[in-house]
Amino acid sequence: MPIAVGPPETAQNAPVIIDLGKKKKGEIKKLRNGEGPLLDEVNGCIEELKTSGAIAGNAQLVVVVIRQKPSRKPLLWPMQ
């Protein structure tokens, strides 16, 4: 479940930060290209923030934070 942090009550035009956690390299690449399930997740978070009133309907700046999962490469043992 993504964590969406809206701006504080006193801040005007503060950025919204959506933390999607750790995701695979391919998922992040698809998001950068404007497609994939992560884009749907981000759009859903933005709609939720709009309906709750945390951001205005015409908000411009949204920051999405994603950390890439480390790849699981096999260890190469030296041959003896």
Quick one: tokens of 75? 């260890």
**Per-residue pLDDT at 35:** 92
Cβ atoms of 65 and 17 closer than 8 Å: yes
**Per-residue pLDDT at 10:** 47
CA distance linking residue 42 with residue 56, whole number of Å: 16
**Per-residue pLDDT at 36:** 92
Domain residue ranges in the chain? 3-68
Global confidence as pTM? 0.62
**Residue pLDDT tens, the chain, 80 long:** 565 555 555 455 666 778 888 888 898 889 889 899 988 988 888 888 888 887 777 776 667 777 888 877 776 766 55
